[in-house]
Structure 1
Amino acid sequence: MPEPPTAMRAVVFDEPGTPSVLREASVPVPSPVLSELLVRVVAAGINPIDAKTRSGAGVSAQIHEFPATLGYDFSGIVVKAPYESHPLQPGTPVFGMVPFPRSGGTYAEYAVVPSLSVAKRPATLSHVEAAGVPLAALTAWGLVVETAHAHEGQRVLIHAGSGGVGHFAVQIAAYFGAHVTATASGANAAWLRDLGASVVIDYTTTRFDDVIADVDVVIDLVGNVHGDTGTRSLRVLRPGGLYVLVPTGSWPGFAEAAEDAGVRATSYKVVPDGGALATIGRLLDSGAVQVYIDKVFDLADAASAHGSLEEGHTRGKIVLRVSDD
């Protein structure tokens, strides 16, 4: 494989702001060290944390140098491996997560990534499809399998079931035998039932706490930012049930409120575990889990992609096409 160039196209921003702060630029190609891989990025997934960070929230306080390049998710091709017998040799299709903001993000033609945070790309997925998987699916896996310990007959309520994390969480919980109730708009109800939800509650017409009770686990992908979803969720849990809050900063007082309500509670942060990602990849290859890509934008149109994400109502994932396969 030829040596990579010294410069690459990337989308950067010079200061926090609206999507319009995102601009295309030429920046140096990063160099891997120790066990890192250098990957040519074919596609990059967009996540809510990207938009929050760009706007000045999220992890923006940890960005110590501008211009900065956003992005965690990627699917691409290994360009440089750490050593000659490494299992991910140049030319291997891989997908995974970079440790932004400790390193540059994936809205760029090349990225460096810890070798333990990647897996071989599922053979049945395109790069665009695979780029929509890592952060959202690993978050769902951590929520459903590692935190909620999903099992046969467990009653799980998943808020925002049609979003990036939500549509994976519904599928994984159903795969492990849980009885899944999801909240979503009515337009997504049939689709979510196809993915494994036993019950879908249209949040635009029905208050979920009026129609369900005594659930074992609530996976809250909304919180209290735009209302009282979190507060009401505590009311539908059985005594000693588990409330899991995902959006950072969406309800600072959740732990105390949960204790007062007699239920357990925890927040959750994604772990970029290549081993878990490889397991998810096998589920994707088998058809037991699917990724839904709502929209695809070219790298140069990252600002439009962020605008679309912030409009809400995304079904599944939004992905940037960075380069040719």
Structure 2
Amino acid sequence: MKQLKNLIMKAIVYSNFGNTDVLQTAEQTKPLIEPNEVLVKIKAFSINPMDWKIRKGEMKLMSGSKFPKHTGADFAGIIEAIGSSVSNFKIGDEVFGVVKNIMKEGASSEYTAVPSSLVWKKPKNISFAQAASIPIAGTAAVTAIAKMGKINSKTSILVNGATGGFGMFLLQLLKQYGANVTAVTSTKSIEYAKKWGANTVIDYTKENILLQRTAYDIIIDLSGRLGYKNAKKIMKPKSIFLNPTPQPIEIPFSILKNFFTSKKHIVVLSSPGTSHTTILLDAVNNGLDIEISKVFPFAQYKEAYQYAEKGGYIGKTTIEIN
């Protein structure tokens, strides 16, 4: 009986699209690993907007409609087993990583099997919860900066919704370029925006950014509430709008629209890889701040997702598994 129990794990799943009510725990067989994979005992996983977009059916063209589905993409934990062709890790290593296919797989379980190329050794100076917060949001920030092109001290950048997980990484990474960054956030988040490197902070509860006279070279809408149509009002003639929260239909249409305007609409999709993570690990080792708004225990997973979906918090929200 004990041996059988060791083959079973708990996981968060859902069997139809919907709000947090569709989430439930289930007992599943612990995954087996391929030669190129590692088995990770998960200690924490992060919550990202993509989780509820997929769960609500907004991304079904890419996620499909096959159930049950898991949730969660990035995680941190301890390697429990390694495949025969894996040489860069050993059992007991503390790591963080991301599942292979965020549209069809999930990290919301006690164990996960992933290719060794999608895990990295956890820095000793951060917690499991902080490490689990790096891959999706951190990679998105690195990708966004790459899509900004050549930026310097003369580049004016507006970051709307600047103090969530994505903004936390983006503001700190932008500091090294010396760009003139304006952060839009709430009253309670102003000090964090300043600490993370914003030159100017606008409190959206007191000021409508669309009514100001300033125009920007780059606008990135992390809140998903500004939109390209509104942003054009405060964009320079030759400028770009970065959209990290696109609807599926916006991905191909943004490419077509860009042929007819100098105000470009560019979609930002996060795809974690070694080159992105190297940049992030260097930043973490040089003191990059990873703020965790709240850590929920595994048993309170519904409350965790409700908290995350409500928004308005600083940094990241994570779930821990003991």
Relative to the length of structure 1, the TM-score reads 0.89
Query: For the residues of structure 2 that align with 1:250 and 1:294, how far apart are their CA atoms?
Result: 29
Amino acid aligned to 1:106: A
> Structure 1: which amino acid aligns with 2:237?
P
Cα pair 1:11 1:300 within 8 Å, conserved: no
2:181 corresponds to which letter in structure 1? V
**Aligned residue number for residue 59 of structure 2:** 58
Matched, 1:304 2:307: no
Q: Is the 8 A contact 2:19 2:55 kept in 1?
A: yes
Asked if structure 1 preserves the Cα contact closer than 8 Å seen for 2:86 and 2:116, the reply is no
The answer for unaligned runs of 5 or more in structure 1 is none
Tell me the CA shift for residue 33 of structure 1: 1.7
CA deviation profile, 1:64-122 (whole Å, cap 9, x unmatched): 53222211010111222233661122211111111245663111011122222221112
Alignment of 1:1-325 (within 5 A): 5-59=6-60, 62-83=63-84, 86-101=87-102, 104-144=105-145, 146-149=146-149, 151-153=151-153, 154-211=155-212, 213-223=214-224, 226=225, 228-249=226-247, 252=250, 261-287=261-287, 289-323=288-322
CA change 1:275–1:32 in 2 (3 A) is: farther
**In terms of mean alpha carbon deviation, does 96-105 or 9-18 score higher?**
96-105
Q: Is the 8 A contact 1:150 1:177 kept in 2?
A: no
**Secondary structure of the corresponding residue to residue 87 of structure 2:** coil
**Is the contact between residue 39 and residue 110 of structure 1 (CA under 8 Å) also seen in structure 2?**
yes
For 2:217, what is the secondary structure of its paired residue?
Answer: strand
Contact 2:183–2:202 (CA under 8 A) maintained in structure 1:
yes
**SS at 1:78 equivalent:** strand
Partners of 1:293 and 1:273 in 2: how far apart? 23
The two structures, once aligned, show a CA RMSD in angstroms of 2.5
Give distance in 2, aligned partners of 1:64 and 1:25.
19
Q: Partners in 2 of 1:300 and 1:212 — Cα distance?
A: 49
Structure 2 CA distance for aligned equivalents of residues 46 and 170 of structure 1? 20
Deviations 1:117-144 (A, max 9, x none): 2211122101011111210011011101
Between the aligned partners of 2:213 and 2:35, the Cα distance in structure 1 is 52
In structure 2, how many angstroms separate the alpha carbons of the residues matched to 1:152 and 1:23?
A: 48
Q: Contact 1:63 / 1:101 at 8 angstroms: preserved in 2?
A: no
Asked whether the equivalents of residues 159 and 220 of structure 1 are also in contact (C-alpha less than 8 Å), the reply is yes
Unaligned runs of 5+ in 2: none
Q: 1:256 to 1:104 in 2, by over 3 A?
A: closer
Task: Report the Cα distance in structure 2 between the residues aligned to 1:15 and 1:162, rounded to whole angstroms.
Answer: 32
Deviation, structure 1 residue 26? 0.8
Aligned equivalents of 1:300, 1:320: Cα separation in 2: 9
Deviation at 1:30, TM superposition (A): 1.3
Identity %: 26
Deviations 1:287-313 (A, max 9, x none): 0x2111001111121111111112120
The one-letter code matched in structure 2 to 1:92 is: D
Contact 1:183 1:201 in 2 (8 A): yes
Q: Which amino acid aligns with 2:219?
A: V
* Per-residue deviation, 1:255: 5.5
3-state SS, counterpart of residue 171 of structure 1: helix
* Partners of 1:282 and 1:5 in 2: CA distance: 37
